[in-house]
Amino acid sequence: MKKRNSFSILNKKHSGDFISSDTEYPLSKFRLINKGSNYVKSLHLETVKSQSSNNKIKVELDPDGPSGPAGYIAYDTVKIATLKVVLENDVWWNGYKANGKTKIDLNKYSVDSKLTVKGITSGTFTWTVTSGSNRIELAKDATSKTFSSTITETNDNSIYVYAKAGSLKKEDITIQLQIDGTKITDFKMTVYRPKYTVIYHVRHIDWDTGFPPYFGNYGYKSVFSYWLLNQFKKPVPDYPICEFFPGKWKNIKKNSWKNTKANGYKTNKRGQFADTIGMSSNHPDTMHPQTPLGSVLIRTRLQEIRSGTSKPAKNTGLLLRTNTIRQYLDHGSIVTKGKKFK
Query: Rounded mean pLDDT of 16-39?
Result: 79
Residue 210 has a pLDDT of 54
What does the DSSP 8-state code read for residue 148? B
CB atoms within 10 A of CB 338: 6
Task: State how far Cα 312 lies from the chain centre.
Answer: 24
| pLDDT band at residue 100 under the 50/70/90 scheme | very low
pLDDT at 334 (0 to 100): 96
Q: Which fold has domain 84-192?
A: Immunoglobulin-like (2.60.40)
pLDDT tens per residue, range 212-260 = 544 445 899 999 999 999 999 999 999 999 999 999 999 999 999 998 8
CATH 2.60.40 residue window(s) in the chain: 84-192, 194-341
Look at residue 316 and tell me whether its pLDDT is greater than 90.
no
Per-residue pLDDT for 52 more than 90?
Answer: no
- Looking at residue 97, its pLDDT comes to 59
At 165 the three-state DSSP class reads coil
pLDDT for 161 equals: 95
156-175 pLDDT, tens digit per residue, is: 999 999 999 999 999 999 99
Dihedral in degrees, nearest 10, Cα atoms 115, 119, 125, 126: -50
HSE, side-chain direction, 13 A CA sphere, residue 159: 26
User: Is the pLDDT assigned to residue 49 strictly greater than 90?
Assistant: no
Q: What is the pLDDT of residue 18?
A: 81
Give the side-chain half-sphere CA count within 13 A for 209: 13
Residues 129/138, Cβ–Cβ less than 8 Å: yes
CATH domain 194-341 topology: Immunoglobulin-like (2.60.40)
d(CA 311, CA 322): 17
Confidence at residue 24, expressed as pLDDT on a 0 to 100 scale: 82
Our CA angle for 191, 194, 196, nearest 5°, is: 130
Tell me the C-alpha to C-alpha distance, in Å, between residue 215 and each of 118, 260, 305: 66, 24, 32
Residue 129 has a pLDDT of 97
With 50 as the cut, is the pLDDT of residue 57 above it? yes
